[in-house]
Amino acid sequence: MTNKPLLGPRKTKDDKKLHWEGSSEHLRKALDLSKIVTRRFQLVALSVCVGMAAIVVRLYTIQMLKTEDYAQKLATYTRRYQTVTTPRGEMLDRNGQVLVGNKQRLNITYFPPQGISDEKEWELARRFSTDYEVDETQLGTRDLKDLYLSLHKKEIDAERITEEEMAAYYKGDLNDNDIYYLELARITEEDLQTLDTDLRKAYVVKQAMDMPSSGQTKIIKSDVTVEEAAFLIEHMEEYQGFNVDFDWDREYPFGTMLKSVLGTVTTSKQGLPSEDLDYYLALDYSRNEKVGRSGLEKQYEGLLSGKRSVYDLAYDENGTGYLSEVNEGSKGYDLELSIDARLQQKLDEILTQVLTEYKDDPLRPYMDRIMYVLQDPNTGDILAMSCMIRNADGSISASPTSIYTDAYAPGSVVKGATVYMGLDQGVIQPGEKILDNYIKIKDTPIKKSWKTLGWVDDVQALAQSSNVFMFNVAIRLGGGTYIENNPLQIDANTYLLMRSYYSQFGLGVLTGIDVPNEAVGYMPGKLANAGNTLDFAIGQLDNYTTIEL
């Protein structure tokens, strides 16, 4: 008996035929590959046809049914806008007098025509420098080297950059910036002398034309005369991309009066300050836009700057850009100050006169400045504030910001607060007399009043400016006992109590005056000894601003 395989073919007499034994029914059927391949091909073909049909329907929808919608979207996405700064708001005094206004001026501007070449721009720059007065003396050595390099780069690279340096460049040890500085270093003073005046003038214009401006027009010449503007308009066909535009500058009817308080505005050439560049760019300012740089101009930039005009930039058939208004701008808000301009003007004159009159007075050898603040006692409004300083050369200059930024030892001004503090704390009694002689602490100089006053009470101490009376208030506040020529021990934290009382009178506390950069003064940390506390009681330690005083 032979063993038969359970699965698999078994040969018969006809070796070409296979018979299956023990297999399932579906394995006995012949494998029909042609049917399977045909079916799969049909499925793939059907999928491709469905996909193509979907694409055709979508294309028909986009190109035929929604042509206008998508054309509008394309125009919106590719549209270039230009913003134009409107005049800033004015600053007025309490009576409506203009302290800071605007003066209109004419500028010649340039916007690159579409597809203009560098050679064409050089041609325009040369023509402009011939027809208009251009100051080439503003070019520095670096500017002239850049000009020479732009004209002779191939020559410099071939003759003045060594093979070793070029090998290092190709190797990656030197980059483009390194080669650039090597090129500049190899340009000599003799090379710069070959650049004639006409070429230098043209380069000044070309620099202005190349100035990056975030797509805005570039100012080529500012504050031009009516005749200069008219000449450009008459020869506009020769100056493709050039135009005449209106701009404005700040003007000050009262001259330099309060100038440092009012602040300054950048020019179009200066543009956005580098320290605030990211801030203004985030607010959609242009890089060459004029903004407040200091003082109230900067503090109220958001109100004074107003709403900028927005224009749509397009090009005509000649490639020249032109603007059509999209959003109309508006002038900035006016800022009304509490200052009385006429009163301020008079106060400045008086302080200048006093400084001049007493400049050689032997009784006032250190009087080199006078500060004065005039306020409305009912509202606290500052009507005028002036600081006049006599300089080393004898000239007198105004520094009104010193009123709230510079700090000084107040001296006897604080004695009223010291007496109030002593009475409120109960360490002295109304009418109590204290001997004004002198105080001598061990290992320290004698501390006394301007003269020996004898027995004085609180009122007399203020009337005669007694230092010794104030010393005794501080000693009692600190729980000390004075014994002549012995060490003086008082509570080390007494000065904190004293500062809390002085702050009730506005000393060492910001007043909140509506100007930037108000200072609080100078107040040292923990006092080193009891003598410092005594000095504090007569205004010879902490420093305060004039506006606080």
Which residues are catalytic, by number? 412
Q: Where are the alpha helices (DSSP H) in 253-313?
A: 259-262, 277-282, 295-299, 301-304
C-alpha 484: how far from chain center: 59
Specify whether the CB–CB gap between 338 and 381 falls below 8 A: yes
Distance, in Å, from the CA atom of 127 to the CA atom of 218, rounded to the nearest integer, reads: 17
Q: What is the DSSP letter of 65?
A: I
Q: Is 150 helix (H, G, I), strand (E, B) or coil?
A: helix
Tokens 């070029």 locate to 166
Q: Is 102 helix (H, G, I), strand (E, B) or coil?
A: strand
Residues near 413 by beta carbon (within 8 Å), at least 6 away in sequence = 539, 549
Neighbours of 151 (CB within 10 A): 15
Q: Is 508 left (phi over 0), alpha (psi -120 to 50) or beta?
A: left
Tokens of 380: 């606290």
Specify whether the CB–CB gap between 326 and 312 falls below 8 A: yes
Tokens of 181: 């500085």
Beta strand 98-110 with 218-224: parallel, antiparallel or unpaired?
antiparallel
